[in-house]
Structure 1
Amino acid sequence: MTPPPPPPAASEGRWSNLDRPPLNEAALRRALLRPGGLWTSLDVVDSTGSTNSDLAARAAGLAEGAVLVAEEQTAGRGRLDRSWTAPARSGLFLSVLLKPDVPVARWGWLPLLTGVAVATGLARAAGADFALKWPNDLLVRVGGEERKTGGILAERVGNDGVVIGIGINVTLREEELPVPGAGSLALADAISTDRDPLLRALLRSLEDWYGKWRASNGDPHLSRLQETYAAGCSTLGLRVRVELPGDRTLIGEAVAIDGDGRLVVTTPDGEDHPIGAGDIVHLRPGG
């Protein structure tokens, strides 16, 4: 008797990986888009190069509060044009459009504000402890060591807008990490890795912190943004190496976040250096 032919292989569709189901776009819209709220539109796409690039290209025709989410990014970008890649539906990859009616001199706080909002929102929803590495990395603890699990990229668009990109590793396994030393919520033993409630918590927290900051005309002290960021910043109190533009480096202790959101580094000669841009390396004692 001839055995029956094997069943056809499952197609690589949206439901091919049941451990990583797609986001529920309709439910997210119902939960987040409301009259008088910050979020005005929300779109989920299967795949794109970069949500920041896509949203920036459309920003002129969009109201503040537009949200673009991708199930997969093939050309995601971090600071200094570093790439950000992850398997489809393994994380949260999104960009939001903000048009803050506060003095432009205070817009530099937006990446730090986003870091605070993401850390506080996801800490509640995922049950994981986050730390902030200045200026825009989100860290979780995996096996006793802090690992980067997310990043933030803010880009000016036009005269009145800022697109903020957020990438968070949610269910990545060790063998899927893009670089050694990266992390994910799953590796940090988060109590939840369901991306729908995580995304809702993230955006609600960002709406709350942005509202406080805007209501205080962007003042980081009145909005309590400065003290909250400093309390959650693991860079403070550490010996750091600052890699500055022009192949210059600075080594000292990170001692404060100033009123402009800059990291203040004190060098061995006792001089304070406010750092507005640079790559920060946390040094081990004696490093």
Structure 2
Amino acid sequence: MEKRMPADLLDASAISHALPGSYWRVSTISEATSTQELLRTSNPSHGDVLATEFQSAGRGRLDRSFEAERSTALLFSLFIKPRITQERWSFIPLLAGLSVVQVLNSLCESNKFFTKWPNDILINEKKISGMISEVCGDGIIVGIGINTTMSRAQLPVSSATSVLIELGIVLNRNELLAEILRQFSQNLADWESGRDFLAEYTSLSSTINREVKAIAPDGVEAIGTALGVDESGALLLSDQQIIRVGDLLHLR
């Protein structure tokens, strides 16, 4: 029988203390329908972050439900007003995913975490994190969920996993959130200043150079080799196919 790990409760003051001088304003609540929904309807300001122990109506991409038992995942949404034209905002979810991978690899002293286009994080080919992004007024909300201490019995699907299952590590979620916010704000500032993240994203992608099947929201499928991503975050497939939105399956 798997051991159930004690939860480290989210602490807004501890998270903020770890981010001196930053623009992030972190709030934590015990329960929410969805941090994405609550932040969207709160007239958010640049740097607002909302994290919760439990979501009763969490959702992922394409309005899929997302479930995690209380305190077994890091669940949060953040709001930013990018200093760059909105036409380029579609790369921000990839930048957020890259930031999460960088932090997980650093905190876990690992090289096993990779992005999966467009919005997932994998370890050992299993999903450990997912993201959702949406434009809100003159900014964008990014919602992130990371399975930290879920046991196998608590996993929502067999293709999911957690940090505890894969590495036997219990991450402190306050430290994890602070480090993600720190890394993302640095990456965002560098990107807004013109830094090209395509090579770095490619080096930490589990999708690039794989045979994949992309399934558009209308059901249209495209199969090919993932060659890379462009500056808009679109996935470039062989035969000059460009995938901007949809589900993706790794075929081999």
TM-score range normalised by the length of the shorter chain: over 0.9
Cα-to-partner distance string for 1:141-190 (whole Å, 9 max, x where unaligned): 2xxxx1000011111011x1101001000000111100111011111215
Q: Which residue in 2 is equivalent to 1:157?
A: 136
Cα distance in 2 for partners of 1:18, 1:259 equals 41
SS for the counterpart of 1:84 is coil
What does 1:62-141 correspond to in 2, within 5 Å? Answer: 62-128=44-110, 129-141=112-124
Q: Which residue in 1 is equivalent to 2:228?
A: 256
What does 1:10-21 correspond to in 2, within 5 Å? Answer: 19-21=6-8
What does 1:195-210 correspond to in 2, within 5 Å? Answer: 195-210=173-188
Give how far 1:191 is off. 4.0
SS for the counterpart of 1:171 is coil
Query: C-alpha root-mean-square deviation of aligned residues, in Å?
Result: 1.5
Question: Aligned pair in 2 of structure 1 residues 53, 33: CA closer, same or farther (>3 Å)?
Answer: farther
Q: Match of 2:156, as an amino acid?
A: P
Question: Could you list the runs of 5+ residues in structure 2 that have no partner in the other structure?
Answer: none
Provide the TM-score with structure 1 as the length reference: 0.83
Q: Match of 1:207, as an amino acid?
A: S
Higher-Rg member (1/2):
1
Cα distance in 1 for partners of 2:228, 2:8 equals 42
Instruction: Confirm whether residue 178 of structure 1 aligns to residue 156 of structure 2.
Output: yes
Cα-to-partner distance string for 1:96-142 (whole Å, 9 max, x where unaligned): 0000120111100110000011110121113342111001100012x
Q: Which residue in 2 is equivalent to 1:42?
A: 26
More displaced stretch, 164-173 vs 194-203 = 194-203
Cα distance in 1 for partners of 2:63, 2:217 equals 14
Do the aligned partners of 2:149 and 2:170 also contact (CA within 8 Å) in 1?
no
Q: Which runs of 4+ in 1 moved over 4 A?
A: none
Do the aligned partners of 1:90 and 1:169 also contact (CA within 8 Å) in 2?
yes
Q: Match of 1:227, as an amino acid?
A: A
Cα distance in 1 for partners of 2:59, 2:169 equals 28
Cα distance in 2 for partners of 1:184, 1:127 equals 16
Q: Match of 2:8, as an amino acid?
A: P
SS for the counterpart of 2:241 is strand
SS for the counterpart of 1:122 is helix
Do the aligned partners of 2:148 and 2:170 also contact (CA within 8 Å) in 1?
no
Question: Aligned pair in 2 of structure 1 residues 18, 191: CA closer, same or farther (>3 Å)?
Answer: closer
Do the aligned partners of 1:127 and 1:192 also contact (CA within 8 Å) in 2?
no
Question: Could you list the runs of 5+ residues in structure 1 that have no partner in the other structure?
Answer: 1-16, 217-222
Q: Which has the higher contact order (CA 8 A, sep 6+)?
A: 2
Provide the TM-score with structure 2 as the length reference: 0.94
Cα distance in 1 for partners of 2:93, 2:191 equals 12
SS for the counterpart of 2:227 is strand
Cα distance in 2 for partners of 1:205, 1:192 equals 20
Give how far 1:192 is off. 4.2
SS for the counterpart of 2:31 is coil
Count the aligned residue pairs: 248
Q: Which residue in 2 is equivalent to 1:14?
A: none
Give how far 1:44 is off. 0.3
Give how far 1:259 is off. 2.4
Do the aligned partners of 2:10 and 2:52 also contact (CA within 8 Å) in 1?
no
Q: Which residue in 2 is equivalent to 1:213?
A: 191
Instruction: Confirm whether residue 57 of structure 1 aligns to residue 41 of structure 2.
Output: yes
Q: Match of 2:85, as an amino acid?
A: P
Instruction: Confirm whether residue 148 of structure 1 aligns to residue 127 of structure 2.
Output: yes
Give how far 1:18 is off. 7.0
Give how far 1:215 is off. 2.0
